[in-house]
Chains A and B, each alone.
Chain A
């Protein structure tokens, strides 16, 4: 019994049949991977593939095929009929038939091979899904930008204008102001715009208002980080819960990533810190996922590193080559292992298709034209070299890959598609290369690139929805509408209905947060009972401070002394002290000295946490506990501060610790940062206290920082076991079901309807106005308004508001960024 499928194969055979007039019809080019590769793999590769060259013949590459084997050529591209390969597989010579064992080729398969050889035996993947993977340049390229003309001042537009003109196209009309305001807010910050801001933008007649709006949105580092962290979590497989976190098989980089985005860490440094982590904070990406139990050789962490580094930063796929020499591009097993070996602690044996080869991988970089890695250097050095090569000025691929990703986020479709096949040709090499060079030339400032794209006339255009799902031509006609991600949709619902949860699942330290520190990192688990550590931080102030507030606590007890003066003491690590340092600070040197005690009879965790915000005429200074604090366990005390502690009041009566530099201990060393210390509750309290000191209110919780609920999962939030670089563009029936009767959304809307009604004062017209302005950034049309008012009636019930709300949320206009 056998199964047979008529679809692909039969259709192909039909096409192979002579045309009706008797003359052979010219056949469209065969797709190598689809039509030829499976055949080769089934019948030939057992001996002539996967590195094997029986009889000296390898069929893995076109070079191998053309070169032939020990007994001569096997194909004759000039006279395909004469090709020896065809004679061998068709059984013309009964004594020498290929394959010698196993199933022989069927007549149709021989025809297929003949046709393929007639077509020149292409190994390229030219017809595969319309992708044209070739080999794109690696080195950067300078692009001359045509002169500005009229309102086309942005270099992107100046490069696109001739592109469009050559194709008889023009920029689509400008999007209307409200559409643009909604688009830019959702694209850059992932939130619906504030209706008042949309109104003021629409009313603004000044020529620079677009750029001003873009700059205003990008200026808010937190909003930017809160949105773009989703994009980066997908790329870097970063999460804070899920597979691997059960037993330390995986490390989150959420805090590092958030700070990197908030502070707009230059992209070259960003990449270096991920590939060659200077601290444990960013090591999660390179660490990968340590799976329990036996895994396929191609999934060891070193190869995960190679695959992810290549895909994320260079837009190239080493997944195939992690198992065997790739069939779809030129990457070899040794290339994937070469990159993997960079991070290998021990010699890494190469495996082919999960079987050991006996060969040891040699560390190397994928692009020798950029530079080499010294394979004999120790791991740390190799990793440093890799980081340097990835971010080397000659590696134009790094910048091209990220600017293409940014372009796709904003424009809906990449300059190169798919975004992970950067060897495909861009629709405009000029725009791609210009943006890449511009990024590299300007300190790898990603926000600059985003701003450049977002302020282009191209981006300002009315969006051009794709007419069909299959993009056959990557040509640019205008920005495409994008579907909201699960996180953006949920954030929008929360914002619209005032239903965001009070607490996130992972709390991000506010800007200027301290770290838990102690003398030794092992204190996170246990420090000696009764250990006393002195911490010292020196602060230089040029001008008198105008504001100085600190937040601190210690497990278990501490005394803070500033410039020799007692400030505060506390013995309860669960309380957080906020205090005014202004009276204690002065221009010049300031010494912050802390004496911290680990109480208890047995070894137990110990830590100290400090953050202060100080302002002077010259600006703002942040001081926070980190490894720049020095510590000692050898404090020359004339008395014991805990003895001096007043049992009644908890105040320390003794605070003079030293009289001058000559008394100071000489064994100061940098304090150690404690990983995972203190628990959620104390963190929360410290962060809240610091936020209030910094004058920043609590920010609404965003979906990206909550555990994925069934709604977010349904809408496509990935579990981040694999790198994800694009989210699905269309709504599936199962997703629609979850939106229609799923508990999560239904409960949210039931709660939110009351808020919506109350916010609008309860009157039907104002509810409609409020909802449309917030959700769609535009007033309802007459027809929409009439319909909505009919639904709500004179006195809107909570249910009718809920139904209106649901209906608006389900509109394609709402769920897309247009």
Chain B
């Protein structure tokens, strides 16, 4: 891709690119775009916090991962026709982990073995938005704000991209792996938070819906040879330079356009683009991450972090009624989903550790809410779009497993990035409802923890429409100090 002899095509120096990026960023800051407000007025300079992480990998369990089927096992009852539903809390037995006395559900053997590298939060409590529509909860989790909002709220990755910028100039600061935004249900709702919102598209997600095709996002259009790609750009440059427009003097709009084109071209011509190419991994390594899109996405995330990515989300993908959205066949779907995530998550942690990257890379595994075993519907408030089935006794295998949306407690994994190792944080009730009973962690506090690990104050705000808009809801997120090593 970068065989061109043109000196301008070679990889730029970091300083050079950062200078250009910040110029582009500046150019994006027109009078109408948000301006940063000073933050953290309550914190004295002597208490200044040093970042513990430079990069974040968010492993997103899209669709609602049931804690009691994964990382928070409760009393297990095997499937049996006529079994009383209320007696079932978990449909998988517990297995031991690398942390003494801590179990997770069967099917997570690989993660169990690396659990001593991280912290398992069992008391993540998300907002109750009426137990419907995953995309609203996902919007909330990713932006920190409950939709609807009167201004477009930025995704966590966009906040981070805006505030910290790229870690390496040739790797986009915010990369989103595995989520299609076209051709699936609720796509408009998904698009609504896969955005930099009012921060401006400069900070939006670099989308890689199919990790094994990641390289396509950073190479010339299909069918175009690298040499043609380079000569096309050379011609564009020549034409732009010869444009009579150049005669009109200073013109930030024109200059920013040319600069953005140069940036894009540089990114597509950089040798670093190879980080997007999974073909460069051995068959053995690729197999270790499993055949699925999520697994390959984890591998891509590892490559990108090595290359200098700032924020990467890898999702199991949200699609209504699929993957973790286990409305039916809860048990078998959970089994399949665990099979899809277990090896790659563990492999990712180990790979980062082996490469000495885990210390400064925060890996977060989370979901928009948990699930409960009661079959569909909600006893006190029946959601109109969910089927209500007799929930007394089990008759069919497809009703065995967690179905109902549950916001009272969910599990989150944190690895690296300055978090404690080998710790379980928070606790849920042993009986239904298995709500968090100790050390609750809200979405905004979890966000504040992630931001703080990166050295970003949870009270950071930008001005939009003459009011402050904070990185955590109203700037109220409080980092959970106990999670830090």
- By a beta-carbon cutoff of 8 Å, the part of chain A in contact with chain B is 1-10, 12, 33-35, 37-39, 42, 103, 106, 109, 125, 128-131, 133, 241-243, 245-247, 289, 291-296, 298-299, 304, 307, 317, 319-320, 322, 327-329, 417-418, 420-421, 465-472, 481, 483, 710, 713-714, 716, 718-719, 721-722, 726, 728-737, 739-743, 746, 750, 781, 783-784, 787-788, 791, 799, 803-804, 806-808, 810-813, 815-816, 818
Nearest-neighbour CB distance to chain B for A287, whole angstroms, equals 14
Nearest-neighbour CB distance to chain B for A777, whole angstroms, equals 12
Picked from B33, B38, B239, B467, the residue with its CB within 8 Å of the CB of A12 is B38
Which B residues are CB-close (under 8 A) to A2?
Answer: 40, 43-44, 47-49
Which B residues are CB-close (under 8 A) to A299?
Answer: 148-150
Chain B, Cβ-Cβ closest to A353: B474
Q: A5-B40, A109-B41 are in contact. List 17 more A-B contacts (CB 8 A).
A: A3-B43, A4-B45, A33-B466, A128-B466, A317-B466, A328-B467, A418-B31, A421-B466, A465-B248, A465-B250, A467-B250, A467-B252, A470-B31, A721-B147, A731-B256, A734-B204, A816-B254
Which A residues are CB-close (under 8 A) to B220?
Answer: 741
Which A residues are CB-close (under 8 A) to B172?
Answer: 734
A731–B32 CA distance with the chains assembled, in angstroms = 14
Contact B232–A42 (Cβ < 8 Å): no
| A731-B256, A811-B243 as given contacts; A470 in contact with B206, CB under 8 Å | no
| A469-B252, A787-B235 as given contacts; A730 in contact with B257, CB under 8 Å | yes
Nearest-neighbour CB distance to chain A for B182, whole angstroms, equals 7
Asked whether B201 is an interface residue with its Cβ less than 8 Å from the other chain, the reply is yes
Which A residues are CB-close (under 8 A) to B361?
Answer: none
Contact A465–B253 (Cβ < 8 Å): yes
Which A residues are CB-close (under 8 A) to B264?
Answer: 733, 736-737, 739-741
Contact A743–B221 (Cβ < 8 Å): yes
A816–B251 CA distance with the chains assembled, in angstroms = 12
Nearest-neighbour CB distance to chain B for A713, whole angstroms, equals 7
Contact A10–B45 (Cβ < 8 Å): yes
Nearest-neighbour CB distance to chain B for A46, whole angstroms, equals 12
A71–B148 CA distance with the chains assembled, in angstroms = 43
Contact B463–A128 (Cβ < 8 Å): yes
Within 177-203 of B, Cβ neighbours of A (below 8 Å) are at: 181-182, 186, 188-189, 191-192, 200-202
21 pairs, CB–CB < 8 Å, chain A vs chain B: A4-B457, A5-B39, A6-B45, A9-B41, A39-B41, A42-B42, A295-B129, A467-B250, A722-B149, A726-B32, A728-B33, A731-B257, A731-B260, A734-B201, A737-B268, A741-B220, A741-B268, A807-B239, A811-B243, A812-B257, A813-B254
Which A residues are CB-close (under 8 A) to B481?
Answer: 1
A294–B252 CA distance with the chains assembled, in angstroms = 44
| A328-B466, A740-B261, A811-B240 as given contacts; A732 in contact with B200, CB under 8 Å | yes
A736–B44 CA distance with the chains assembled, in angstroms = 41
Contact A713–B38 (Cβ < 8 Å): no
A766–B236 CA distance with the chains assembled, in angstroms = 20
Chain B, Cβ-Cβ closest to A730: B256
Picked from A241, A481, A787, the residue with its CB within 8 Å of the CB of B251 is A481
| A3-B49, A5-B39, A787-B238 as given contacts; A714 in contact with B252, CB under 8 Å | no
A392–B130 CA distance with the chains assembled, in angstroms = 42
Contact A734–B206 (Cβ < 8 Å): yes
Contact A319–B188 (Cβ < 8 Å): no
Nearest-neighbour CB distance to chain B for A714, whole angstroms, equals 7
Asked whether B265 is an interface residue with its Cβ less than 8 Å from the other chain, the reply is yes
Picked from B30, B128, B228, the residue with its CB within 8 Å of the CB of A294 is B128
A-B pairs, 4 with minimum CB distance = A8-B38, A293-B130, A465-B251, A2-B47
Picked from B248, B253, B463, the residue with its CB within 8 Å of the CB of A129 is B463
- By a beta-carbon cutoff of 8 Å, the part of chain B in contact with chain A is 21, 24, 26-33, 35-45, 47-49, 128-133, 136, 146-152, 172, 181-182, 186, 188-189, 191-192, 200-202, 204, 206, 216-224, 228, 231-232, 235-236, 238-240, 242-245, 248-254, 256-258, 260-261, 263-265, 267-268, 385, 452, 455-458, 460-461, 463, 465-468, 479, 481, 484
A169–B48 CA distance with the chains assembled, in angstroms = 51
| A728-B200, A743-B221 as given contacts; A737 in contact with B238, CB under 8 Å | no
Picked from A291, A471, A728, A741, the residue with its CB within 8 Å of the CB of B31 is A471
Contact B132–A293 (Cβ < 8 Å): yes
Nearest-neighbour CB distance to chain B for A237, whole angstroms, equals 11
A146–B343 CA distance with the chains assembled, in angstroms = 79
| A1-B484, A740-B268 as given contacts; A38 in contact with B466, CB under 8 Å | no
Contact A719–B202 (Cβ < 8 Å): no
Contact A3–B463 (Cβ < 8 Å): no
Contact A791–B235 (Cβ < 8 Å): yes
Contact B452–A1 (Cβ < 8 Å): yes
Nearest-neighbour CB distance to chain B for A563, whole angstroms, equals 51
| A1-B484, A732-B28 as given contacts; A33 in contact with B131, CB under 8 Å | no
Contact B221–A4 (Cβ < 8 Å): no
Contact A481–B253 (Cβ < 8 Å): yes
Contact A130–B254 (Cβ < 8 Å): no
Chain B, Cβ-Cβ closest to A421: B466
Contact A129–B222 (Cβ < 8 Å): no
A106–B42 CA distance with the chains assembled, in angstroms = 8
Chain A, Cβ-Cβ closest to B320: A246
| A33-B466, A722-B150, A741-B268 as given contacts; A807 in contact with B236, CB under 8 Å | yes
Which B residues are CB-close (under 8 A) to A133?
Answer: 466
* Most A CB within 10 A of own CB, among B28, B172, B181, B455: B28
Which A residues are CB-close (under 8 A) to B263?
Answer: 733, 736
A295–B29 CA distance with the chains assembled, in angstroms = 32
A295–B130 CA distance with the chains assembled, in angstroms = 9
Which A residues are CB-close (under 8 A) to B192?
Answer: 243, 719, 721
Contact A469–B466 (Cβ < 8 Å): no
Which B residues are CB-close (under 8 A) to A733?
Answer: 21, 24, 202, 260, 263-264, 267
Nearest-neighbour CB distance to chain B for A716, whole angstroms, equals 7
A746–B217 CA distance with the chains assembled, in angstroms = 13
Which B residues are CB-close (under 8 A) to A289?
Answer: 148
Which A residues are CB-close (under 8 A) to B254?
Answer: 465, 481, 812-813, 816
Contact B466–A131 (Cβ < 8 Å): yes
Nearest-neighbour CB distance to chain B for A53, whole angstroms, equals 22
Nearest-neighbour CB distance to chain B for A74, whole angstroms, equals 21
* Most A CB within 10 A of own CB, among B264, B385, B461: B264
Nearest-neighbour CB distance to chain B for A132, whole angstroms, equals 11
Which B residues are CB-close (under 8 A) to A470?
Answer: 29-31
Contact A719–B253 (Cβ < 8 Å): no
| A38-B41, A741-B220 as given contacts; A729 in contact with B30, CB under 8 Å | yes
| A3-B456, A730-B256, A781-B242 as given contacts; A33 in contact with B467, CB under 8 Å | yes
Which A residues are CB-close (under 8 A) to B206?
Answer: 734, 737
Nearest-neighbour CB distance to chain B for A561, whole angstroms, equals 47
Nearest-neighbour CB distance to chain A for B308, whole angstroms, equals 16
A417–B467 CA distance with the chains assembled, in angstroms = 16
Which B residues are CB-close (under 8 A) to A472?
Answer: 31
* Most B CB within 10 A of own CB, among A329, A806, A811: A811
Nearest-neighbour CB distance to chain B for A423, whole angstroms, equals 11
A247–B465 CA distance with the chains assembled, in angstroms = 31
A784–B244 CA distance with the chains assembled, in angstroms = 9
A291–B41 CA distance with the chains assembled, in angstroms = 36
| A242-B188, A246-B186, A722-B150 as given contacts; A292 in contact with B250, CB under 8 Å | no
| A728-B200, A787-B239 as given contacts; A293 in contact with B129, CB under 8 Å | yes
Nearest-neighbour CB distance to chain B for A335, whole angstroms, equals 16
Picked from B37, B188, B251, the residue with its CB within 8 Å of the CB of A34 is B37
Nearest-neighbour CB distance to chain A for B452, whole angstroms, equals 6
Chain B, Cβ-Cβ closest to A720: B188
Contact A307–B39 (Cβ < 8 Å): no
Picked from A106, A292, A742, A813, the residue with its CB within 8 Å of the CB of B136 is A292
Which A residues are CB-close (under 8 A) to B457?
Answer: 3-5
Contact B148–A291 (Cβ < 8 Å): yes
Picked from A292, A721, A746, the residue with its CB within 8 Å of the CB of B130 is A292
A781–B479 CA distance with the chains assembled, in angstroms = 61
